[in-house]
Structure 1
Amino acid sequence: MKIKEVDRTANIAWSPVNQYPIYLAAGTAAQQLDATFNTSASLEIFELNLNESSSEISVKASLNCDSRFHHLVWSSYSKAGSTGNGVLVGGGDRGQILIYDVGKILSGQGGLIMQQEKHTGPVTALDFNCFQTNLLASGASNSELYIWDLASPGAPMSPGAKAQPPEPVQYLAWNRQVQHILASAFPGRAIIWDLRKNEPIIKVSDSATRLRVKCLAWHPEVATQLCLASEDDNHPLIELWDLRFATAPLKTFHGHSRGVLSLSWCPHDPDLLLSTGKDNRILCWNPNATQTDQELVCEVPSTSQWCFQLLWCPRNPALVASASFDGHVSIYSLMGGQQISTPPNKIAESFPGMSSFSTPAPPAPQQKPVILRNAPKWLQQPCGSSFAFGGKLVTWEKGSTSVKVQQVRSEHEVVGRAEELEEALQSGGEAVQALCEKRRLAASSHPHILQAWEFLKARLEEKSSQALLTLLGYEPPKPKGEMTGMRDGPGNEAHASDLNDHIGALDLKGLKSESRPLIRAVVLGEWDSVMRNCMLESWKEALAAALTYAKNGPSLMSLCQILGDRLQNEGKLGEAMACYISAGGLPTLTSSFGADSLQDIVEMAVLLQQNATGSGMPPDDPALNKYFEQYAQILCSQGQLQLAYKYLANSTQPKLVLMRERLSVALGMVTQQPQSRAVEKRGSIGRVRTYSSSSTSSYYQSMGVDSYYQPPPASASVSSTAPPPASLHQGMNQSPTPTHSAGTSKPQIKGAPFVADPSVSFQSSYNAYAPQAVPGSLGTYPGPTGGTWGGSLNATGSTQGQHPIPPNPGFIPPPSATATYSAWSYNSSSVVTDDMHAGYGMGGGTGPGSQASQLPSLTPPSSALPSVTSSFHPLASGWNDPPTLRTPQKPKQSTVSGVSMGQEVVPSSTPPPPVAPNPVPFSAPTQAPPKPIPAEHQVLHDVLQGLLDQCLIVTTHPQMKRKLDDVRKKLEILDEKLRNEELGPTTLEGLHQLVGGVRTGDYPQALAIHSQLVDSGSFATLSAFMPGLKSLLQVARQMGIYVH
């Protein structure tokens, strides 16, 4: 986008990179005439101000010259005593090299400081060395090349012998990486000179296209690469050459339709190369592009005339200046900007009398904006950094595929104190006392904090009451001497009785003394009035009395609270703290501190908590939670995530729980894994399977889509409400035998449709199983029959309902059938449950929790009723269904079971078989209660179960809860082995040592004992529960949970 323009036919040069503000020098171009045919020459310096909305460039200074310029360059070189604006050098018509001091031009003091006439023809090429700004290369006709040292310009040097045949030097350019390499462009070739050798080292020419070199440009970063531009209209090419492979160009860029007149390679971005040609176009290239379609980056909108010079701005790489043959010097911005338009005041001056006419609306801009494919290098981040959770600083550098993660710690004192506190809590005893003493000495400038640490130190001593009284100035009484002997004799009961009567006759009411309230408080324990009414100057005496006579606990805390509040209201902060700490008043302690004492609050609270409970964990108190949250955030910012987690471990507030979960993820305690979509779908969709049967008395519930047991086809009927027996061959993934359905005993017709009970909900459970049946009395039992069954399952597969169906005393099992089953025994006064598998039971399983317990009881049918033949249609096979019974069906003789209330009865089309004779009576034995755990091993159960319960209370993550549920099952296995005395003495001794480590909070030692047990014990015995113990210890250690 063109942003500035000035009407000049001139050669141009930007000010050096260290010059500010940015200047643009313009010297009248030689061999060109403007519209006025003016033959004068001048050298002007324009100041570029991009903040101005005007398209004009203000002239900062101007100087009339005797000669026009073929080329103009600006160097930052300045002699001693100059203004530091550098020098301008121009090539004249008659071989002159004109050197100007820019500072003098700007100050209006002339400016020409030197003129050299070494060349015989027009000086058409000039360039300053970018490493030694005092070295100037000049080129003219007849292959003349000179190197000038502006410090001593009287004796220029030649880089070598003149090139043959003699040709005008079109362009000169110093290498951007190697300071002694110079490139020169001649009409048919480019010659590279090595000034150390004073000879040309290589000649570059394209014999295939006979390239007519007009200009060249060195790669800003690769020392051996340069671009050559051809002014031949038949071959308007730009070729990229590498001097290491100078037999052919690396790349050839085709974009111009006519010869190229100027090249300029951006010094700040090697991916941007500008070219202008006789086709009135300014193109931007990416010479480093790997694909041909990405080589042409964009086209810069320009005028309808040729541009003979094109220059990048050294200081602002987004700006490009061009000089055209139509007499305009234009400045473009690759980053966009305000498009210039012709000033209306100049138009009005050329057409007088037009002011009376209305001014038309300006037309819309026709130039297309410059759109770069990629961000320029000067806008790209060379490096970057970002702070991450936990005080980590992530840094990266451009061109590198790795990032650096560093721990940033700014609060060294806070971290040091936190580590000292943790070490003291681990060591206990003298370490805690030493920490309190250190904090007391450090708080010498804060009297109230100093006094608080003094009383806290006394509060944490083994004999805290005696230490506190000593601190209050009440030393314990010392014996006057040693006992020399002891006399013992018979008592005098009569003397004791007389003394008692004498004391009882005393009248305390008549005693008028100031000590009466104290005596009353001592005798009756009424210390509240003393604390409310005593003089505050005597607070030590009142506190000593409370510590001596009041009981520890709520009573002492209440008394100290009363006295402390009175002292705090009077502004006696240190004395109030002494009262609060003496009773361990954590909630009231915090209100006495300022915002700058956050760490003191946390340390005192934790130390008092350890003294009260022995856990060393922060208490969950609303008055302290805000301080623990602030402290945890500070520790997080310093990278102390483990300590920060400890201070939030017992918090139950939602905000603190959320922060604790984030810490658990950062510490690796919780691994978030995506759940299988298929599993989720299977576990959440329930479906009812229907089938028809000849019997309305159902023994099996209809399972969901994911049921893993299909009842075998058989026909049977019973005349009892007793639950059916479970199969002796049930596997882990088989459903249990459900309880009996209820209904009225009526014969059912074959082919009756299935009628679902609308009050019963059906759900499925993924990969669930039910507890196996308790073996009872054996007998033959027919296969299942169809009917109306309902089972309700929750999301985890646990059964619903807790009331089993007691067996009917009149139950008579049917005769033999195609499969043999064990009869489930029940007792009306005791129910046997399996707690370990309770969470995995299928709805409708036998035992407690069966949905059938909600159905009406059966009426015993008459044995004279004819039986019917059952027709069972099996369910569709599931992906993990066990094989069904494939024994052939045979007619069976049994009684007809009842029909559920409200069930439709359809006439039978098949004659019933004869009734089964001689039924076998059924008895239901009672189940013995489980054995107790031996008393010497009960501590194993209590400690491990208590630790598990605390972990379940603290954790909120679903995955962690599932892990702890699995630990619970392992602990139940351990309890069972303890009951049955299946563990050897070595294993039991190791388990007691492990539990001892848990009780002392030494989890590393407990885990070490666990490893020894696993290595030395029996794998068959320990593998059932030892993994669960290890998981429990690891979780408790990570979450900072301790059991004492």
Structure 2
Amino acid sequence: MRLKEIQRTAHPAWSPAPHHPICLALGTSAQQLDASFNTTAALEIFQVDFADPSLGMKLKGSLPTSNRLHSLVWVNFGAGEDGLGGRLIGGSDNGTVTVYSPEAIVTSGAEAIIGQSDKHTGPVRALDFNPFQSNLLASGANDSEIYIWDLNNFSNPMTPGTKSQPPEDISVVSWNRQVQHILASANPSGKAVVWDLRKNEPIIKISDHSNRMHCSGMLWHPEVATQLVLASEDDRMPVIQMWDLRFATSPLKVLENHTRGLLSIAWSQADPELLLSKVPAFLLCSIGPRHLSLPRVIYELPTTNQWCFDIQWCPRNPALLSAASFDGWISVYSVMGGSLEAQQQSRADQISSSFDTMDPFGTGQVLPPLQVPQPTPQTTLVAPLKKPPKWVRRPVGASFAFGGKLITFESPKAPVQSPQPVPVPRQVFVSQVTTETELLQRSRELQAALQSGSLSDYCQAKIHKAPTDSEQDIWRFLLVNFEDEARVKFLRLLGFSKEDLERKISTCLGKNLQPNGHGVDANDLAEKIQLLSTQVNKEKKISFPIPVSAGTLLYAPVVLDADGLISQALLVGNFEGAVDLCLNEGRYAEAILLAISGGQELLQKTQQTYLDEQRNSISMLISSVVTQNWGDIVQSCALENWKEALAALLTYAHPKEFAHLCETLGSRLEGERTEKRCLQACLCYICSGNIEKLVECWALQRDCSSPLVLEDLVEKMMVLRKSVERLRNSEVAVQSPILADKLTHYAGLLASQGSLATALSYLPDTSDQACIMMMRDRLFHAQGEGGAAGGQQPPPFPYNRVRVTGGDPAPAQALAAPVQAQPPTQTPVFRNECILFDTFASALRIDPYRAHGPQADLRQPGSTLPASRTRPSKSLHKTAVSALVIQKTEFLPAYLHKTHRAILKVLLFESDVLIFNIFIYFPQQTKRKLEDASKRLGYLYDKLREQTLSNNILGGLHEISRCVAGQNYQRGLEVHTAVVTSSNFSEIQAFMPILKVVMTIANKLGV
């Protein structure tokens, strides 16, 4: 596509690749004149600004020159402040080589000419700079003159060796792109000489044996050091020859697609597969991949009908190229395609704008403006390259896959040892990436402990490795869950030991305590157990010996004081009144003793009265012990006394209430939202066995996105889960969303490190959480056949299977109910065809004779006559497509038995189902003769399913299917011919030929 153009008869030169913005230098061409016969010369620099939508280019600077140029190059040598560094070197028609400063030309400041030499005796037609040392420049002129210039010392050039004989004009010089001391030169007679500058002599000469090769261009291969191309300008032999110096007896390849002689060629340094040449009306990109035996034209860029004498690739943007034509235009093109909406301004319009309203005849009258008809704006569409060029192809690529897999690829270079075409193998590497080694090691240790059941040893090891005291406390509490007398040991961990308490009490009372080592005398305990009875003997009275002093007499005063009233109440059996009198007098011990004799109700009332009146530091504890109301303690105790509250629960709480009370205490601690309280709450949750609360509280103060922090949490979670399962003797189901989320995240981390089997083992198979089910399904299938088939049953499918329909929902009555096939009662009179109810074909089939609407006249398979049918209508393709279950695959064609699963993955669109329905049965009717056609039709079905066919081809296929449905095969063949001639054959070559065979056979058989 043409992007920029300017009217100049000049030689172009692109700015070097490091320079930005991109500029184009133009030196007036020698031996050419424009329409105005202007003989002046200039060196101009234009900025190529693609932000400007116009075709013109902005002039940055201009320098008048005394000589016109035969060649011009822009060397990346020297630095400029404004980015226009380097040097411009021009070879003129009088043998002068001049070095210009682009910066000086743009700024119009200092002297623009840096150096000048007239060593050559004739026009300097060839210039090229060394790609390795930019200060070295080669020039060629008449009489086999070749000079090597050093821009640091421009006055003393050197020669590559003695002049070749007989003396000839040098048309091209070119430095080797791989070996910096190799230079090649060519002359118009078709001979090329390769020079070794270290030896200062030619090392090889190549020429065409036919002597018809008039060389106009020569270029070295960008990557292969021993290969070069020669272009011929002779119309009788318009070819490009590729030579390999190791086999220089004949050309390695010859490109013969040109119709006229070639004046210029350009080889892309960004993609060696692109060699640019110019013929009238087209720029041709040829050569193609190196593994091809013959070069070929791979791209044609439409240009003007004029000849181009100079074409060049842009060094900075490899998609751009410039072309200088003999009609006086310099154009910039892009090989990446696109569209350009520009008005083609006519010559008359240019004349009108030039003359304006002047009076050319001297009449003294002002002429009206010329009325020039404006052409209609045309949109020029240019297709891009058929194959992506190298600069847009990825040289390497990498992508991560599930399971910690890293898939990489690279574009290997073709071997250069052999000139013969060699296919380049392309490989994709799959590697396992492991970044969390500590996570994997700890996960393996946890997995081993869970499988072996040695969780006590595991907890002991975690206690020794714990970095903080709080971490040690958590693992000590987790360890107690796997030991006997867990509550007693929880009390010890809280700092409450019965042995230590007995010693403190004895010290306080002044007694000498002699423990037996276990805290309980075994003989005394045995005697007490023998006296225990599970039933109360009402006849047996428990008597307490009342010490009575000698001579003490029973005295019951009858006076009206407190003692007298108490005595009288006792004598008449009024225990309640006696207790009230004792409480009133503050005699609480006597009131409690009397309440015991008064019954349980009176005792509880007396205890409550006493507790209400006593307000001290331990009254609440005594009240809770007596009344067994531990809820008040948990709800109202100070959080600083959480250990005492938890100890009381461990000592007195009923097993049915213990877990709830511990959770309540833990919730109060967790509500403080501090790290210290959260750790204390975790201990309460461990005692209660609440895994969900433990996870929530632990994650409250920690970032579980870190793999090792999540590992800490999962270790505690799995150990506590195992302890709860040990206590309940049943598996604990994971139904909590937060547990499912953490386990899924943890399994994903393990899977990303390649431990798929280990990750799957952490996900319970009894959970109904969607995230766990999806992860289990993904892990199971990610293990492949080796891992998934190792005796494991596949997990349940985590999704609901739904019926997939088209975009326009069909009426409910239009969907036929499943009908079971029944044996026919009499011989059917309709044609023999495949009847598929509730099968794959019925899911995708649309009857071409059935209109869209209710299916009230649907017939059973055993019916004698078919239902009445109507001709196809425009609404035919609106019928919904339903995905049904395959039940009777014995009726399917042979090839569908192998491919129906793959085809069922993605349903065809409604508008394409008719095509599928028509062509699916042709092989069935001529099964023996069309076995191969049946298989090749799968390419068509793949194209329809993937929606890769163009609208033109798809419309033709619909028309062919309608012709086939009506048995109008002649019309179908005509449409087939029209589709083939108007479409890209590479897009339809896989299935269109076989469709013609199918219709031809069907037409002959009359089926």
Partner of 1:547: 650
Q: 1:612 is matched by which residue type in structure 2?
A: V
The more displaced of 90-99 and 599-608 is 599-608
Q: 1:156 is matched by which residue type in structure 2?
A: P
1:586 matched to 2:691: yes
How far apart in 1 are the matches of 2:241 and 2:624?
108
CA deviations over 1:902-946 (Å, ceiling 9, x no partner): xxxxxxxxxxxxxxxxxxxxxxxxxxxxxxxxxxxxxxxxxxxxx
Deviation at 1:409, TM superposition (A): 3.7
How far apart in 1 are the matches of 2:179 and 2:354?
55
Which residue among 454, 462, 481 is the counterpart of 2:514? Answer: 481
CA deviations over 1:998-1025 (Å, ceiling 9, x no partner): xxxxxxxxxxxxxxxxxxxxxxxxxxxx
Q: 1:138 is matched by which residue type in structure 2?
A: S
Partner of 2:405: 392
Partner of 1:4: 4
Distance 1:142 1:262, change over 3 A: same
How far apart in 1 are the matches of 2:234 and 2:527?
141
Partner of 2:219: 217
Partner of 1:433: 460
Partner of 2:773: 657
- Counterpart of 2:542 in 1: which secondary structure? helix
How far apart in 2 are the matches of 1:250 and 1:112?
44
Partner of 1:635: 750
Q: 2:129·2:135 contact (CA, 8 Å) conserved in 1? A: yes
- Please give the residue correspondences for 1:534-613 in structure 2 after superposition, counting only pairs within 5 Å: 534-552=637-655, 554-569=656-671, 571=673, 572-592=677-697, 593-594=699-700, 596-597=703-704, 598-613=710-725
Q: 1:148·1:156 contact (CA, 8 Å) conserved in 2? A: yes
After TM superposition, the score normalised by the length of structure 2 is 0.61
Distance 1:403 1:260, change over 3 A: same
1:621 matched to 2:735: yes
Deviation at 1:143, TM superposition (A): 0.9
Distance 1:462 1:11, change over 3 A: farther
Partner of 2:927: none
Partner of 2:385: 372
How far apart in 1 are the matches of 2:730 and 2:466?
18
Deviation at 1:640, TM superposition (A): 2.7
How far apart in 1 are the matches of 2:720 and 2:67?
94
How far apart in 1 are the matches of 2:523 and 2:91?
131
Which residue among 662, 670, 676 is the counterpart of 2:788? Answer: 670
Partner of 1:418: 443
- Counterpart of 2:131 in 1: which secondary structure? coil
CA deviations over 1:933-989 (Å, ceiling 9, x no partner): xxxxxxxxxxxxxxxxxxxxxxxxxxxxxxxxxxxxxxxxxxxxxxxxxxxxxxxxx
Distance 1:358 1:415, change over 3 A: farther
Partner of 1:465: 487
How far apart in 2 are the matches of 1:580 and 1:500?
49
Partner of 1:958: none
Deviation at 1:166, TM superposition (A): 1.4
How far apart in 2 are the matches of 1:486 and 1:199?
116
Please provide the CA RMSD for this pair.
3.7
The more displaced of 479-488 and 298-307 is 479-488
- Counterpart of 1:582 in 2: which secondary structure? helix
- Counterpart of 1:70 in 2: which secondary structure? strand
- Please give the residue correspondences for 1:877-956 in structure 2 after superposition, counting only pairs within 5 Å: none
Distance 1:577 1:490, change over 3 A: closer
Distance 1:497 1:299, change over 3 A: closer
Partner of 1:844: none
- Please give the residue correspondences for 1:280-429 in structure 2 after superposition, counting only pairs within 5 Å: 281-286=282-287, 288=289, 295-339=296-340, 340-342=342-344, 346=350, 349-350=353-354, 352=356, 360=374, 362-365=376-379, 369-399=382-412, 401-411=426-436, 414-422=439-447, 425=450, 426=452, 427-429=454-456
Q: Percent identity?
A: 42
Q: 2:744·2:771 contact (CA, 8 Å) conserved in 1? A: no
Deviation at 1:498, TM superposition (A): 1.4
- Counterpart of 1:596 in 2: which secondary structure? coil
Q: 1:191·1:202 contact (CA, 8 Å) conserved in 2? A: yes
- Counterpart of 1:179 in 2: which secondary structure? coil
- Counterpart of 1:612 in 2: which secondary structure? helix
Partner of 1:133: 134
Structure 2: runs of 5 or more not aligned: 358-367, 413-424, 504-512, 532-538, 547-592, 705-709, 792-818, 826-886, 888-1007
Q: 1:173·1:183 contact (CA, 8 Å) conserved in 2? A: yes
Partner of 1:738: none
- Counterpart of 1:499 in 2: which secondary structure? coil
Partner of 1:960: none
Partner of 1:73: 73
Q: 1:9·1:29 contact (CA, 8 Å) conserved in 2? A: yes
Partner of 1:947: none
Deviation at 1:660, TM superposition (A): 0.9
Partner of 2:543: 498
Distance 1:324 1:5, change over 3 A: same
CA deviations over 1:330-380 (Å, ceiling 9, x no partner): 111001245354569856513647779697562424x66244231111111
Partner of 1:829: none
Partner of 2:873: none
Deviation at 1:469, TM superposition (A): 1.3
Distance 1:422 1:686, change over 3 A: same
Structure 1: runs of 5 or more not aligned: 674-683, 691-794, 796-1044
- Counterpart of 2:496 in 1: which secondary structure? coil
Distance 1:129 1:47, change over 3 A: same
Q: 2:354 is matched by which residue type in structure 1?
A: S
CA deviations over 1:25-69 (Å, ceiling 9, x no partner): 111111111122221111111111122101111111211112111
Distance 1:304 1:671, change over 3 A: same
Q: 1:390·1:636 contact (CA, 8 Å) conserved in 2? A: yes
How far apart in 2 are the matches of 1:585 and 1:138?
88
1:510 matched to 2:606: yes
Distance 1:686 1:544, change over 3 A: farther
Deviation at 1:436, TM superposition (A): 4.2
The more displaced of 527-536 and 214-223 is 527-536
Q: Kindly indicate whether structure 1 or structure 2 has the higher relative contact order, using CA contacts under 8 Å at least 6 residues apart.
A: 1
Partner of 1:154: 155
Partner of 2:588: none
Q: 2:736 is matched by which residue type in structure 1?
A: P
Q: 1:573 is matched by which residue type in structure 2?
A: C
Q: 1:440·1:454 contact (CA, 8 Å) conserved in 2? A: no
How far apart in 1 are the matches of 2:824 and 2:343?
82
How far apart in 1 are the matches of 2:542 and 2:658?
36
Q: 2:80·2:86 contact (CA, 8 Å) conserved in 1? A: no
Q: 1:621 is matched by which residue type in structure 2?
A: Q
Deviation at 1:465, TM superposition (A): 2.4
How far apart in 2 are the matches of 1:358 and 1:177?
56
- Please give the residue correspondences for 1:213-252 in structure 2 after superposition, counting only pairs within 5 Å: 213-252=215-254
Deviation at 1:657, TM superposition (A): 2.0
Distance 1:462 1:405, change over 3 A: farther
How far apart in 2 are the matches of 1:689 and 1:481?
102
Partner of 1:111: 112
Q: 2:477·2:687 contact (CA, 8 Å) conserved in 1? A: yes
1:200 matched to 2:205: no
How far apart in 2 are the matches of 1:363 and 1:546?
91
Distance 1:500 1:146, change over 3 A: farther
- Counterpart of 1:155 in 2: which secondary structure? strand
Deviation at 1:320, TM superposition (A): 0.7
Q: 2:343·2:377 contact (CA, 8 Å) conserved in 1? A: no
Q: How many residue pairs get matched?
A: 673
How far apart in 1 are the matches of 2:139 and 2:202?
16
CA deviations over 1:715-758 (Å, ceiling 9, x no partner): xxxxxxxxxxxxxxxxxxxxxxxxxxxxxxxxxxxxxxxxxxxx
- Counterpart of 1:602 in 2: which secondary structure? helix
Distance 1:617 1:73, change over 3 A: farther
The more displaced of 100-109 and 159-168 is 100-109
Partner of 2:267: 265
How far apart in 1 are the matches of 2:136 and 2:101?
16
CA deviations over 1:544-584 (Å, ceiling 9, x no partner): 111112354x4311221232233334554343333222221
Q: 1:613 is matched by which residue type in structure 2?
A: E
Q: 2:405·2:754 contact (CA, 8 Å) conserved in 1? A: yes
How far apart in 2 are the matches of 1:590 and 1:627?
9
